[in-house]
Structure 1
Amino acid sequence: MDKQELIDRIREINATAKTEFLATFSEKDLTAYLEHLMELDLEELAVCS
């Protein structure tokens, strides 16, 4: 994914994250953050089941 795609995916999970703020990070950092958000999202689903 390129940087804009990463930002878009992050904002799907965390709509409060501002595009301008996310754009200040590297693709590597954004990838790590997206992976973290996806793990939290899965944990939340497991708790809700």
Structure 2
Amino acid sequence: MGEIKELWCPSIEQLVCEIKAVNRAWKAASELFGEVKILKDLKNAIAS
């Protein structure tokens, strides 16, 4: 049960780590595919 609670109720530290990971990925994608403002634009840039 503790494992399920961790998935549904992550700690603040885990949330911060996840947010930082998304920010790093967004920055890397922006460098690869050019400046994009919204995720939809990034998806279209990757698809083309």
TM range (shorter): 0.5 to 0.7
SS at match of 1:33: helix
Deviating above 6 A after TM superposition, structure 1's stretches of 4 or more consecutive aligned residues are none
Quick one: higher RCO (CA 8 Å, sep 6+), 1 or 2? 1
**Percent of aligned pairs sharing the same letter:** 11
TM-score, normalised to structure 1, is 0.51
- Structure 1: gaps of 5 or more residues: 1-21
Match of 1:26 in 2: 11
- Structure 2: gaps of 5 or more residues: 1-6, 35-48
Aligned pairs, number: 28
TM-score, normalised to structure 2, is 0.52
Please tell me the root mean square deviation across aligned C-alpha atoms, in Å.
1.4
